[in-house]
A and B are shown apart, each in its own frame.
Chain A
């Protein structure tokens, strides 16, 4: 067998196996209708033909009896005659389809006028009344009833046959069949429509559940609705507890990472402060190691925080989510004597965890506030398929090489000298990059209109891959 021949049935069976429930049920009932209705049709037609034939035969038999009753033997015992007519004109019309004949051995004794010069075939037969289907004159299909009788005063057994055309019988059966097919077809269509309706109604809770699931996935609902039929209710409850556990696990992960970070930071602060008492050449390696600890803690904390973010986040209003951060930093900017301008489109919205959004905005603004000479600006606009968030400052800006370095994890940018005392690291931007990877957004660093650095973030309205993993940890 060719590989193509192998794969086609497999693909087909797979498609059938994976077909939606509605389609499966509809296919099954279609199959049922296609098989059962014709079967019923055949059965009914067969029975009808049987019973119509039986009643035809009994008509033939009564006519045969009438014929037999009219047969007389003449006084000589040689000739037969019919002493009364059968009262049916069809036996007198030539080739009317209704015939009788009386024979004595091979000798023809009497026939109906309708038979004209033809003869009815006389098959080999048993005693008693027999009915056959035979071909009559002009190859017309006939049903023939015949029997042998012995007449008083006649030496030989004579054979009497009476035949009627099956034309009418066929016509009657045909009419019945047409009617039956029409009825069955109508019935089939109604049945399928009914089944489809039944399925729609029956599967409605499933559809509701799947819409519900989508809503949960898109963050529009927290849990599945459990107002469902018993079987599904159980499923929904189970799903809910899985969702709940998932959330709890994420929360616990976040909390654990947070606690660990929290616990590590104070001792690191102590070591850092203590190391400042050492001469510079001794301080340097200690600080490098402390920075590594700090970077690792921050990186993994940020990752843990961001990990569950996209999975269940719904559309959030950007303005509402970042308001506390913007307000807090506006206050900070004012305290630091910096001008802070912000425009946030009140309608801008995207599917992002509010905490992640705060992280994003906070880190970008913090960076800008650290470097700005006198002014920082934030603009958030809804653009085609996404949201653009731009933070500018009037600080020294960055060269191409610096921008690239800034995006690399763990590169420290606080080379501003101890005069400013701005401790901190490029990690703010690295976290922003992590978030971009998680949500499928982009971060660009360029020259700002204000003169310094502009960080330009584009976030899709819906994340491309909500379960994506943030950039791999370099440290």
Chain B
């Protein structure tokens, strides 16, 4: 999961960023609304964490601009504001959920995962595709009830494919959502990691569609 963290307080950006990275998320951070605006329009993120008090304009202003321009990626608002009139302003600007400072990382993670899940049209926290399951909260993967150990990168890759399944996901899309913008991989790297995943739970589960991309399939349903 690739997250854009928009937070002007350097200490908080670092602490929260590190905590989210530890949880296996890909986090890119920016301190200004202007840069966030640029990134949101040029990069692909699964979700945005937006602090409302930014040095260059209120977060809600940027948010409503994005919504007006049809950018509908899920946005989690981070607010120190207690007044409901302020929170309500955040909602009407187009926030999907909010977390009030001071928060626990667990809550931010919980909200983020739920947002991303729902943006893929999934309501249940456990995604089940055939015998393969992913608990979006804990990040644990099981195959026929047996836990499977994955590296962080593999986990992100699989998570994205499972969220998207049965949609076909292009290499470019995978690269954008699963890898950091500074370390964008060549397609080889993705191929290598896909084949590692295939080794861990069977060849047929991840199909390669030539010229289009990858698709995670429900083997058990096909059988």
Binding site for B on A (CB under 8 A): 258, 261-262, 265-274, 276-277, 290, 294, 298, 301-302, 305, 324-325, 327-329, 331-332, 335-337, 354-355, 358-359, 361-363, 418-424
Residues of A within 8 A of B115 (CB): 335
Q: Are B85 and A355 in contact (CB under 8 A)?
A: yes
Bound-complex Cα distance A324 to B108 (A): 24
Interchain residue pairs A-B with the least CB separation, the first 8: A328-B91, A421-B110, A362-B84, A324-B88, A265-B80, A273-B15, A421-B106, A265-B101
Q: Are A269 and B114 in contact (CB under 8 A)?
A: no
Q: Are B123 and A337 in contact (CB under 8 A)?
A: yes
Q: Which of B93-132 contact A (CB under 8 A)?
A: 96-111, 114-115, 118, 123
Q: Are B91 and A424 in contact (CB under 8 A)?
A: no
Q: Are B92 and A421 in contact (CB under 8 A)?
A: no
Bound-complex Cα distance A276 to B23 (A): 12
Residues of A within 8 A of B100 (CB): 424
Residues of A within 8 A of B80 (CB): 261-262, 265-266
Q: Which chain A residue has the least Cβ–Cβ distance from B98?
A: A332
Residues of A within 8 A of B96 (CB): 331-332, 335
Q: Are B111 and A262 in contact (CB under 8 A)?
A: no
Q: Assess whether B11 is interfacial by the CB under 8 Å rule.
A: yes
Q: List 16 A-B contacts (CB under 8 A).
A: A258-B82, A266-B80, A266-B101, A269-B12, A270-B9, A270-B15, A271-B102, A273-B15, A273-B104, A298-B82, A324-B88, A328-B91, A358-B85, A358-B88, A361-B84, A423-B106
Q: Assess whether B87 is interfacial by the CB under 8 Å rule.
A: yes
Residues of B within 8 A of A336 (CB): 97, 114
Bound-complex Cα distance A355 to B89 (A): 13
- Contacts A269-B101, A335-B96 known; 10 new A-B pairs at CB < 8 A: A258-B81, A266-B80, A270-B12, A324-B92, A332-B96, A337-B123, A358-B88, A359-B84, A421-B108, A421-B137
Q: Assess whether B90 is interfacial by the CB under 8 Å rule.
A: yes
Q: Which chain B residue has the least Cβ–Cβ distance from A357?
A: B84
Q: Which chain A residue has the least Cβ–Cβ distance from B17?
A: A273
Q: Assess whether B16 is interfacial by the CB under 8 Å rule.
A: yes
Q: Are A273 and B16 in contact (CB under 8 A)?
A: yes
Q: Kindly identify which residue among B15, B88, B98, B110 contacts A274, using a CB–CB cutoff of 8 Å.
A: B15
Number of B interface residues in the complex (CB < 8 A): 40
Q: Kindly identify which residue among A273, A329, A335 contacts B118, using a CB–CB cutoff of 8 Å.
A: A335
Name the distance in Å between B31's Cβ and chain A's nearest Cβ. 13
Q: Which chain A residue has the least Cβ–Cβ distance from B19?
A: A273
Q: Assess whether B53 is interfacial by the CB under 8 Å rule.
A: yes
Q: Assess whether B146 is interfacial by the CB under 8 Å rule.
A: no
Q: Assess whether B210 is interfacial by the CB under 8 Å rule.
A: no
Q: Kindly identify which residue among A294, A324, A421 contacts B102, using a CB–CB cutoff of 8 Å.
A: A294
Q: Are A422 and B110 in contact (CB under 8 A)?
A: yes
Q: Which chain B residue has the least Cβ–Cβ distance from A363?
A: B84
Q: Assess whether B183 is interfacial by the CB under 8 Å rule.
A: no
Q: Kindly identify which residue among A274, A276, A277, A331 contacts B91, using a CB–CB cutoff of 8 Å.
A: A331
Q: Which of B117-174 contact A (CB under 8 A)?
A: 118, 123, 137
Q: Are A290 and B102 in contact (CB under 8 A)?
A: yes
Most chain A CB within a 10 A radius of its CB, from B80, B98, B100: B80
Residues of A within 8 A of B83 (CB): 258, 305, 355, 358-359
Name the distance in Å between B49's Cβ and chain A's nearest Cβ. 12
Name the distance in Å between B195's Cβ and chain A's nearest Cβ. 34
Bound-complex Cα distance A258 to B86 (A): 12
Name the distance in Å between B9's Cβ and chain A's nearest Cβ. 5
Q: Are A421 and B91 in contact (CB under 8 A)?
A: no
Bound-complex Cα distance A352 to B124 (A): 41
Bound-complex Cα distance A265 to B114 (A): 25
Name the distance in Å between B19's Cβ and chain A's nearest Cβ. 5
Residues of A within 8 A of B103 (CB): 269, 272, 423
Residues of A within 8 A of B90 (CB): 328
Bound-complex Cα distance A269 to B115 (A): 22
Residues of A within 8 A of B9 (CB): 266, 270
Name the distance in Å between B101's Cβ and chain A's nearest Cβ. 4
Q: Are B106 and A302 in contact (CB under 8 A)?
A: no
Residues of A within 8 A of B91 (CB): 324, 327-329, 331-332
Name the distance in Å between B108's Cβ and chain A's nearest Cβ. 8
Q: Kindly identify which residue among B85, B101, B106, B123 contacts A418, using a CB–CB cutoff of 8 Å.
A: B106
Q: Contacts A328-B91, A336-B114 hold; do A421 and B81 have CB atoms under 8 A apart?
A: no
Q: Which chain A residue has the least Cβ–Cβ distance from B137?
A: A419
Bound-complex Cα distance A439 to B111 (A): 35
Residues of B within 8 A of A269 (CB): 12, 15-16, 101-103
Q: Which chain A residue has the least Cβ–Cβ distance from B118?
A: A335
Q: Are A325 and B84 in contact (CB under 8 A)?
A: yes
Most chain A CB within a 10 A radius of its CB, from B80, B84, B91: B84
Bound-complex Cα distance A327 to B87 (A): 11
Residues of B within 8 A of A424 (CB): 100, 107
Residues of A within 8 A of B118 (CB): 335, 337
Q: Kindly identify which residue among A328, A335, A337 contacts B88, using a CB–CB cutoff of 8 Å.
A: A328
Q: Contacts A336-B97, A421-B110 hold; do A276 and B87 have CB atoms under 8 A apart?
A: no
Name the distance in Å between B134's Cβ and chain A's nearest Cβ. 15
Q: Contacts A328-B88, A358-B84, A362-B87 hold; do A421 and B15 have CB atoms under 8 A apart?
A: no
Residues of B within 8 A of A362 (CB): 84, 87-88
Name the distance in Å between B197's Cβ and chain A's nearest Cβ. 26
Q: Which chain B residue has the least Cβ–Cβ distance from A273?
A: B15
Q: Are A262 and B53 in contact (CB under 8 A)?
A: yes
